[in-house]
Chain A
Amino acid sequence: MARTRFIEGPAGTGKTTYAIGELRRLLDDGVRPEQILILLPQRSAGWPYEHAFTAPDWPDGAQIDLVTIGGLARRGLEIFWPLVAEKAGFAYPEAEPQFLNVETAQYYMWRFVNEAVQTGVFDSVNITPFRIMTQVLDNLSKAAINGFALDDVTERLVTAWGDRHSSRPPVYHAAQHVAERFRAYCLENNLLDFSLQIDLLVNYLLDEALYREFFQQNYRHLIADNLEEHTPVTRDVIRWAWDDLDSALLLYDTDAGYRVFLGADPGGGLELKARCDEAEAWEQPYNLPPTLGTLAHELGTLLDADRPRSFPAGENPRAGFTLEFCQFYPEMLEWAVNQVAALVQHGVPPGEIVVLAPLLGDSLRFALTTRLHERGIRTVSHRPSRAVRDEPAARAVLTLMALAHPGWNVHPPLLDVANALQQVIEELDPVRAWLLAQIVYRPGRIELGTFDAILLAAQERITYRAGEKYERLRRWLAAYQDEDAGTMPPDHFLSRLFGEVLSQPGFGFHTNLDAGRVVAELVESARRFRQTLYPRAEDVTDWIDISREYYELVQAGLLAGTYVASWQQVEQDAVFLAPAYTFLMRNRRVSYQFWLDIGSNAWWERLEQPLTHPYVLARGYPHDQMWTDEQEYFSRRDTLRRLMVGLVRRCQEHIYIGISNLSEQGFEQRGPLLQTFQQIIQRYDQLEEVP
């Protein structure tokens, strides 16, 4: 068998399954698991591998690391920091570096952005300082993953902007200035944000003979899955390692490239094909009904201006999907829920159903979840558009945190306390929680009242079972105040509150896995905050003010802003509710898909930001070219095409498509996908009429 192989093909052709088979073969041939490097564009793409590792016949103990480029950089730097620190210009090469995550990087960046905003340099753009901050960080990352200097980023943005208006170039320069100040601060203080980690890996570590030796000894075999979603710098690393590898298997999804906004470089990934000893193109997806095959073809054709519009030889796609036209949004939701219920009733496992929307807001998620639960159908949802701190579970825990620290003089409103109690005590419904909160909580009072002191009639109403749980919670908080308050860092507080009380039987988070994940994220954010800002715990004499700082940063939106990580979710036999892209990146196929609201423009709108640009800040984009509206339009069409084709190919039975003429907001919807389906209907209805 060839040493290096490249397999390309659309989703569902069995590439990852093949890779898992290869992995197994390597292990059976006696390769040590730690010698195999599986490179993934993001952790959630590793789901099929993790799933395979849990199979009963998988070799014992053969846990193989799934690594992203960020992870690889960090590992290298943890070991070889002394080799590169001085060369890279860090002020204290002899001292340990601090690895920053998104949140802690934001924390440091925040001050530079704010200072710049105060001077008025960003006045000509209407974006919040928070968004300015995220875009500057984004530019830093884009520079790193493409191997650009910061100057290049600005130059590219200015050129792409062209002569549209003189107010914009100074803003790009201002953003660069902020980025430079942040970078200088990191160098002075041994801080490593994502961009510096990548930068150090590519520009320093790869040049070190010791690192090469280390790499050669450790990694003999490479599997790079979803190559089209990787960044240019990952490709550089693969090239760098290439000749030393015993084997390499590169997998490329021809119709994907969903992470372009995050720096993916599908075109560049394809270039690696030429380096491989053997290249194969797989065409036929497994289990894709012919009707859906035609639908994928149609969508691919209609959304691609370059492809000729001819009827494929396949089956009429109309049988592959159901289109439901509703006037109102809630009407569409009701329809979708009824269809899901009917499928489940006919024996379809809920885990084989996904309900997808372009965006999944709180209200939509809530409406779907409650409606499905009413019919006894379980759901699981992952929505990256909501920050951890905005999750009701996180808000409940934060309210309890405030209650545990009366000295802060933060007095949560009664409604928040009632909400918190309702969430954390299993037996409490909203009415009883309100009743309890009203009796035991007075804003400004030092501690919560005891259940025993409540009138018997009220105790009975609240129920003794709930009362007992409340007492446990109250006593825990009181004991913390009395004994532990000054000595416990915020993450310890959160973690113990969860572990000792909230996750126990009878408490709301005992069976609520979603809530458990949310709290885990919150704990993690507190831990990173502490480790980054106060790494020397022995220097801290009193944690109360530090905990308060954490609490306030969360409230201000600077911390706990990340999302509950999807790959950590336990797969359940539940209907999966998600934004369409999230489903795609989970790399799995299901029997039934529901697409909601295809009239919405959100299906094709990209996240457009004035200070950055995913296409212009890509290695393959000519540095001296203006970005035109035509390019914008076609890139959107192309993205939409990839999305739709990707979705269809991940469906094994049938697609249910809901259209709501009026959006949630009451506005008529005229998104491009609607027109595309109109065309498909017209084409195939005509076909049926002509025998």
Chain B
Amino acid sequence: MPEAPRLKLRREQAKIIEGYTHGKAGVAAVPGSGKTFTLAHLAARMIADRRLDFDRDQEVLVVTFTNSAVNSFQARIARILRDHYGLLPFVGYRVRTLHGLAHDIVRERPALVGLSDDFTILDEKSALEIQREIVAQCLPGWWDQLEGYITAEEGTNEKSARRAFEQEMPELVIRFIQRAKDMRQSPEALLAALEPIGTHRFDLVRFATQVYADYQRSLAYRGAVDFDDLVRLALEALDRDEGYLERLRARWPYILEDEAQDSSRLQEEMLTKLSGKQNWVRVGDPNQAINTTFTTADPAFLLNFLDKRKNRGVTEYALSVSGRSAGRIANLANELVRWTVEEHVSPDLRSAFNLRENKRTGVRRGIIRLTPKKDPQPNPPDSACFIHLEYQPDQKIAPEKELEMVAVGEDYALLGYLQEISALPEDQRPTIGVLVPENSRGFKLVELLRRYKIPYEELLRSTTATREAVTILRTVLEYLADPLDLKALKQIYWTLMSESRRALVNEDLELRQTLTKTFGRFQRLEDFLWPEADQSALDLGEIADEHSWLVEDLARFRQQVRRWLEAVSLPIDQLVLTIGQDLFTDLISVALTYKIAVLLRGMLQNYPDWRLPQFVEELRAIGSNERKFIGFDDAEAGYEPKPGVVTVATMHAAKGLEWDRVYLMAVSNYGFPSALPYDTYIGERWYVRDGLNLEAELVAQLEALLQKEPERAYVEGQATQRARIDYAAERLRLLYVGITRARRELIITWNIGRYSRDGQTNQPALPLVALSEYLKHQS
């Protein structure tokens, strides 16, 4: 066996990496304790220790939550195998998201679940379009049964209430279908359950089920499945063929699960099946479970797994030491957990966090412990730590004011801070993150940053990297749609130019003019791209002597464009792939190109008359952020904050990242409610009667249907209440995630909001007040 070089491991990490050999094991880790690091080393060690039988194609299976995490996990294991063990980097393991794993399983035996080998996975946008269409067709026929949900409150405009209801219904049904699939309920099964129910109390779920049934038929007709089907079908395949399940169990004798706090009902079911309850290691942080609202993700799966009473034979390891944040910031995060668990005014929310310490059993959860001396990655010193919570009793901060305070205010604003650090060498400047609860707030901030020329990158809906690649592809397609457009051709050249060349051109006026003139000579574009034999198209005269690269560059560019033009007769997906193959080598962009290709192919199937101009429009919508580019997520692990550049991100997107200085904005009771009477909730729409959360009620009706006595199991309004508690709990954890992103400096602000309801403006979030008190007390 190759001897591993000595790693600098913390004691807790070593206990797992060197101590785990087999069986069920779990970790409830704290932020910054090296979960992924530990798990990647564990995987590599298993491979290096030859615990796998390559003759039987065995692999370590690693399951994680996002595509980007897959990429970084893979790279990490490969690096460890190569650098630490001197082994081939790409054999012996497989890293997948739940959907990726499901795809592998279905792909290998499609006929088991009624699919052909050429089945297509409908991209989410096409799926939404189909569902929208079906809802629009069905809704008029159901109006009599559904109008009872509209509020009859005085002063409500009936027409606009109905319009709003109709507009939001597709979204509601989409979530319902997702949930039904999560619960592995077919439309037929639900229709059968609805059959004996006579009352109108279940009309909402009846309607949604009808749409679900039509939607599934429409998928079947297309020979397609959607992303949610994939997991359901994979489970079905394993249920249907015991032999297949056994074979997969033999292939993956060890299963490692990262981000286990986001495990869902289906993931739990899948991994339980695949592991045969044998060698399964689950690592997560239940206090960072921020994907639970209206999904079946639940930290309870991890916690139940760790519970020895419910799960005999499990070993719990601790990862409680974190060197990420300065002590004072770590303490503040610990205080948020303690305050919530012990003092929160809404007792229901006290279970939002998991906090346990048992010295006898060694269980330590929910408390961040600081690193011991000589730790390879010690906590930043408190002397360099700065914490500011923008809270004073009776203070009212208007939304615009908050933006200004953060961007260009006097005390802790970005503008001043960037000036302060500008004296430092570029690579030594701190990293800065501004985290907002919702995208819309981020967009506003970005506007302001742009106005003040503050350097920034954003990780809002679709990420900057995504948009760059989309922009490049769009620019190329835009030209191909009109090959006589010189401006569009120039645009490609400019877009593809490397940053250094671009800087060169920008700085050198003469060169810029030369380039303009060079392109100017090709008003007749064919003279550049396909010159007649007697024309020497690239004779650039003296310029060529001065910038020899230019001739070569233009010749290469010409060759590329010619290749793309000749590829125009290919189907759109293949055209995009071809262009992508020429332009991108980085992992994200290659994957992205494929996603775009699939998306556009889906469009072509639905709209066979579409040609390049329509596809360009579609890409424009993706690139300009009008539409979230669903299904591709490079927001997390792939992103490296740049020193001296402000990252604007949602708190969700910030998970897994860290910055030297972090701003948390809009920490008011709107974004972080505490289940108090004056709180308002995003899920409760103005046009729905009795403040019902329709989505929660619909899911509750669905769950009731699966009970013995559905009519007794469903009580209207209870689900709305429960949803409030769940949402408030998740937002507390989101705040915790936000705080624990900060290494040295943390600033939290809030605002009163744009609209007041019954004269009430937003309040500072209750935890903000509590933490403020705590800090005061500390000082």
Contacts and interface: CB of A to CB of B under 8 A. Distances in A.
Interface of A: 117, 120, 122-129, 131, 164-165, 167-168, 171, 325, 327-331, 333, 361-363, 366-367, 370, 374, 390, 392, 395-396, 413, 415-416, 419, 423, 429-432, 434-435, 438, 461, 463, 601, 605-610, 613, 628-630, 632-633, 661-662, 664-668, 670, 672, 674-675, 678-679, 682
Given A415-B611, A429-B526, A678-B88, A328 B585 contact: yes
B569 interface: yes
B224 A629 contact: no
B91 A674 contact: yes
Interface string B280-308: 00000000000000000000000000000
Interface residues of B, number: 78
Contact of A665 (B57, B224, B591): B591
24 contacts: A125-B114, A125-B115, A126-B115, A126-B219, A126-B220, A127-B114, A164-B241, A363-B578, A366-B567, A366-B574, A370-B563, A392-B569, A392-B570, A423-B569, A430-B566, A434-B484, A601-B108, A608-B117, A610-B111, A610-B114, A629-B241, A666-B594, A668-B95, A678-B54
A628 B243 contact: yes
Nearest to B530: A429
B580 to A, nearest CB: 9
Nearest to B608: A555
B587 interface: yes
A674 B89 CA distance: 13
A609 B116 contact: yes
Nearest to A631: B243
A668 B74 contact: yes
A365 to B, nearest CB: 9
A57 B586 CA distance: 58
Of A127, A609, A628, A674, chain B has the most CB atoms within 10 Å of the CB of A127
B395 interface: no
Contacts of B246: 629
A629 B244 CA distance: 5
Contacts of B766: none
A496 B391 CA distance: 85
A664 B568 contact: no
Of B225, B566, B573, chain A has the most CB atoms within 10 Å of the CB of B566
Given A367-B581, A434-B483, A664-B594, 7 more contacts: A330-B585, A363-B578, A430-B483, A431-B530, A601-B108, A662-B591, A664-B577
B692 to A, nearest CB: 34
- Give the interface SS of chain B, mostly helix, strand, loop or mixed: helix
A238 B303 CA distance: 69
A431 B483 contact: yes
B22 interface: no
A374 B559 contact: yes
A668 B95 CA distance: 9
Contacts of B559: 374
B563 A330 contact: no
A374 B109 CA distance: 41
Interface of B: 54-55, 57, 59, 74, 88, 90-91, 94-95, 100, 107-119, 216-217, 219-225, 229, 236, 240-244, 246-247, 481-484, 524-526, 529-530, 532, 559, 562-563, 565-571, 573-574, 577-578, 581-582, 585, 587, 590-594, 609, 611-612
Contacts of A325: 90
B107 to A, nearest CB: 7
A672 B117 contact: no
A670 B59 contact: yes
Given A370-B566, A413-B611, A429-B526, A630 B243 contact: yes
Nearest to B586: A328
A419 B110 contact: no
A284 B241 CA distance: 43
B608 to A, nearest CB: 8
B55 A679 contact: yes
Contacts of A463: 532
Contacts of B119: 126-127
B485 to A, nearest CB: 10
B250 to A, nearest CB: 10
Nearest to B565: A430
A218 to B, nearest CB: 42
Contacts of A678: 54, 88, 91
Of B113, B236, B577, B587, chain A has the most CB atoms within 10 Å of the CB of B577
Given A678-B88, A679-B54, A419 B585 contact: no
Given A361-B574, A629-B241, A435 B221 contact: no
B578 A670 contact: no
Contact of A675 (B91, B222, B224, B582): B91
Given A127-B116, A127-B220, A415-B568, A435 B578 contact: no
Given A366-B578, A431-B530, A461-B524, A164 B240 contact: yes
Contact of A629 (B110, B243, B481, B483): B243
Of B100, B236, B483, chain A has the most CB atoms within 10 Å of the CB of B483
A605 B108 CA distance: 7
Contact of B590 (A129, A413, A416, A662): A662
A675 B94 CA distance: 13
B54 A419 contact: no
A672 B251 CA distance: 11
A333 B578 CA distance: 12
Contacts of A629: 109, 241-244, 246-247
A430 B525 CA distance: 11
A554 to B, nearest CB: 13
Nearest to B217: A123
A516 to B, nearest CB: 17
A164 B483 contact: no
Contacts of A607: 117
A661 B74 CA distance: 11
B564 to A, nearest CB: 9
Nearest to A662: B590
B240 A165 contact: yes
A362 B571 contact: yes
B192 to A, nearest CB: 14
Q: Which 3 A-B pairs have the closest CB atoms?
A: A666-B591, A629-B243, A125-B114
B249 to A, nearest CB: 12
Contacts of A171: 114
A668 B243 CA distance: 26
Given A429-B530, A628-B243, A675-B57, A413 B593 contact: no
Contact of B223 (A128, A361, A419): A128
A363 B482 CA distance: 22
Contact of A127 (B115, B592, B611): B115
A563 to B, nearest CB: 16
A662 B57 CA distance: 19
A613 B112 CA distance: 11
Contact of A432 (B107, B244, B530): B530
B688 to A, nearest CB: 34
Contacts of A438: 484
A330 B565 CA distance: 19
A609 B611 CA distance: 32
B526 A435 contact: yes
Of B55, B116, B525, chain A has the most CB atoms within 10 Å of the CB of B116
A150 B63 CA distance: 45
B117 A413 contact: no
Contacts of B114: 124-127, 167-168, 171, 610
A430 B591 contact: no
Nearest to A163: B240
A610 B107 CA distance: 13
Contacts of A416: 611
A432 B222 contact: no
A352 B590 CA distance: 33
B106 to A, nearest CB: 11
A551 to B, nearest CB: 14
A330 B581 contact: yes
A128 B247 contact: no
A650 B55 CA distance: 27
A434 to B, nearest CB: 5
